[in-house]
């Protein structure tokens, strides 16, 4: 990140294998015009006679001409590319958001460059951002659901518009997220409505806005209902942690309802409950969060709070485009989606 580039494979290794691609001048010659006119056609400028335009288009096709984006970027100072910084991109949520970003970015005429990080440190995020900047990206979409990472994101030099997605609802950058509090409230109330005295919670790890907000919502719903608030358990989003913590809950006969911070942990919990002989939902009701594709096929089908990750990714590009049109210092726009409860068997009333 100090400007010194890493060593690279020598040019000689690639040289010669690449037949020089046709350039604008080649097209111009073939069409009998100047390269400038070709440029106009390529960029859909007005002021080109229809017939000339056609000749140029024919020439382009014949030569299989492809504009050189490096040259274009150099002179316009517009790279036409958006960068994505992502963590945990193998998980369904992040992967879906990245997918949504990519689709929308393409539709908006942008290339997409990704930089994934594997440690959740500010430094890692800064490095990723730095690499993206080196490519002169015009915007950065952060799919980084962690406080540290978001903090690093707000520190991005102002030349690049930065938006975040799936980072809770309190970020200091423009973002699109889901209303975690509302989602957790709905889930908890739903459980309470089945007649449970209270609802336990297995939440995500410290430092994750999503985890914090869901815990908040859960606690709020309990308080509002006048139900006792048990200690929340803290997992790490994995099925393993859901299982481990689930064994603790399963051992406690007072536990009759559990709201999990995500579906993976709920999966682990379901197994822990199953193994200890507790019937679901007869003895214990469970609700997850996310609605991963597998949720409907767990044993039993998992009630959960659905969020549309792909759509969120798409919206982040809308957001980016919107920020593009705003004067530099203006307030960050926020888009907050409301998640929906998907009731399935795991929380069905025992009655």
Partner DNA sequence: CTGTTAGCGCCTTCAG
Partner DNA sequence: CTGAAGGCGCTAACAG
Contacts with a copy of itself in 260-319 (CB under 8 A)? 264, 267-268, 270-271, 274, 293-294, 296-299, 301, 309-310
Asked if 345 touches DNA (CB under 7 A), the answer is no
Rounded to an integer, what distance in angstroms lies between the CA atom of residue 103 and that of residue 310? 9
Listed ranges 47-55, 199-207, 259-267, 307-315: which one lies at the site for DNA (CB under 7 A):
47-55
DSSP string, 182-204: HHHHHHHHHHHHTT-S--EEEE-
Q: CB 132 → DNA: shortest distance, Å?
A: 16
| Residue 334 contact among DNA, a copy of itself, none, beta carbon within 5 to 8 Å by kind | none
Shortest CB 317 distance to a copy of itself, Å: 12
Region binding a copy of itself by CB under 8 A among candidate stretches 38-46, 180-188, 210-218, 330-338: 38-46
Among 34, 36, 54, 66, which residue sits at the site for a copy of itself (rule: CB under 8 A)?
Answer: 66
Neighbouring C-alpha atoms within 13 Å toward the C-beta of 203: 27
Among positions 53-112, residues that touch DNA (CB under 7 A) are 53, 67-68, 71-72, 74-77
Determine contact, residues 276/247, Cβ cutoff 8 Å.
yes
* Cβ at position 63, least distance to DNA in Å: 11
Choose between 105 and 199: whose C-beta lies nearer to a copy of itself. 105
Q: For residue 119, state whether it binds DNA (rule: CB under 7 A).
A: no
How many helical (H) and strand (E) elements, i.e. helices and strands, does the chain have?
12, 12
Return all residues near 116 (Cβ < 8 A) that are at least 6 apart: 85, 86, 87, 89, 128
Neighbouring CB atoms inside 10 A of 61's CB total 10
Residue 92 interacting entry, from a copy of itself, DNA, none, C-beta within 5 to 8 Å by type = a copy of itself
244: helix, strand or coil: helix
HEC-encoded secondary structure of 273-341: HHHCCCCCCCCCEEEEEECCCCHHHCCCCCEEEECCHHHHHHHHHHHHHHHHCCCCCCCCCEEEECCEE
Residue 130 touches which of a copy of itself, DNA, none (CB < 5 to 8 A by kind)? Answer: a copy of itself
Interaction between residue 46 and a copy of itself (CB under 8 A) = no
Among 216, 212, 213, 214, smallest CA distance to 224 is for 216
CB-based contacts of 58, cutoff 8 Å, min separation 6: 31
Q: State the binding string over 103-122 for a copy of itself (x if CB under 8 A, else -).
A: x--x--x-xxxxxx-x----
Judged by CB under 7 A, does residue 131 bind DNA? Answer: no
Minimum CB–partner distance for residue 270 and DNA (Å): 55
Paired tokens of 279: 């019937």
**Considering CB distances under 5 to 8 angstroms, the limit depending on partner class, which of a copy of itself, DNA, none binds residue 189?**
none
- For the bound state, the minimum distance from the C-beta of residue 160 to a copy of itself, rounded and expressed in Å, comes to 8
User: Could you say whether residue 252 binds a copy of itself (CB under 8 A)?
Assistant: no
Among 35, 220, 247, 334, binds DNA (CB under 7 A): 35
Q: Using DSSP, state whether 106 is helix, strand or coil.
A: helix
| Residue number with CB closer to DNA (44 or 90) | 44
Binding at 234: pick from DNA, a copy of itself, none (beta carbon under 5-8 Å per type): none
Question: Quick one: which of 86, 79, 105, 100 has its CA closest to 159?
Answer: 79
Which bin fits 3, alpha (ψ -120 to 50), beta or left (φ > 0)? left
Q: Is 205 exposed, middle or buried (0-12, 13-18, 19+ CB in 10 A)?
A: middle
Q: Which residues inside 185-214 make contact with a copy of itself, applying CB under 8 A?
A: none
Token look-up 């400007």 returns: 3
- The yes or no reply on residue 223 touching DNA (CB under 7 A) is no
Chain contacts with DNA (rule: CB under 7 A) = 5, 11, 20, 23-25, 32-37, 39-40, 42-43, 46-49, 51-53, 67-68, 71-72, 74-77
């Amino acid at each position: 990140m100090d400007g010194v580039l890493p060593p690279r494979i020598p040019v000689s290794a690639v040289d010669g294998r690449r037949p020089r691609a046709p350039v604008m001048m080649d097209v111009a010659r073939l069409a009998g015009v100047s390269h400038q006119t070709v440029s106009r056609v390529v960029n859909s400028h007005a002021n080109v006679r229809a017939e000339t335009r056609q000749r140029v288009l024919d020439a382009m096709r014949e030569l299989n001409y492809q504009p050189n984006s490096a040259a274009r970027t150099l002179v316009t100072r517009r790279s036409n590319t958006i960068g994505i910084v992502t963590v945990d991109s193998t998980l369904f949520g992040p992967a879906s958001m990245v997918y949504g970003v990519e689709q929308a970015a393409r539709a908006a005429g942008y290339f997409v460059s990704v930089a994934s990080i594997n440690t959740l440190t500010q430094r890692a995020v800064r490095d990723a951002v730095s690499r993206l900047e080196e490519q002169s990206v015009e915007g950065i979409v952060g799919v980084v659901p962690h406080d540290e990472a978001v903090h690093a994101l707000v520190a991005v030099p102002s030349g690049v518009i930065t938006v975040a997605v799936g980072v809770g609802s309190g970020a200091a950058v423009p973002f699109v997220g889901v209303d975690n509090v509302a989602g957790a409230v709905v889930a908890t109330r739903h459980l309470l409505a089945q007649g449970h005295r209270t609802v336990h919670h297995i939440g995500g790890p410290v430092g994750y806005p999503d985890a914090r907000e869901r815990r908040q919502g859960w606690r709020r719903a309990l308080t509002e209902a006048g139900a006792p608030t048990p200690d929340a358990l803290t997992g790490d989003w994995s099925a393993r942690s859901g299982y481990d913590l689930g064994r603790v809950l399963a051992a406690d006969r007072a536990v009759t309802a559990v709201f999990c911070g995500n579906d993976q942990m709920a999966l682990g919990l379901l197994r822990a409950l199953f193994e200890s002989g507790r019937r679901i939902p007869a003895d214990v009701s469970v609700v997850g969060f996310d609605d991963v594709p597998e949720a409907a096929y767990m044993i039993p089908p998992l009630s959960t709070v659905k969020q549309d990750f792909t759509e969120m990714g798409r919206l982040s590009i809308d957001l980016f485009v919107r920020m593009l049109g705003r004067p530099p210092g203006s307030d960050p726009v926020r888009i907050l989606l409301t998640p929906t409860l998907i009731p399935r068997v795991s929380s069905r009333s025992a009655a």
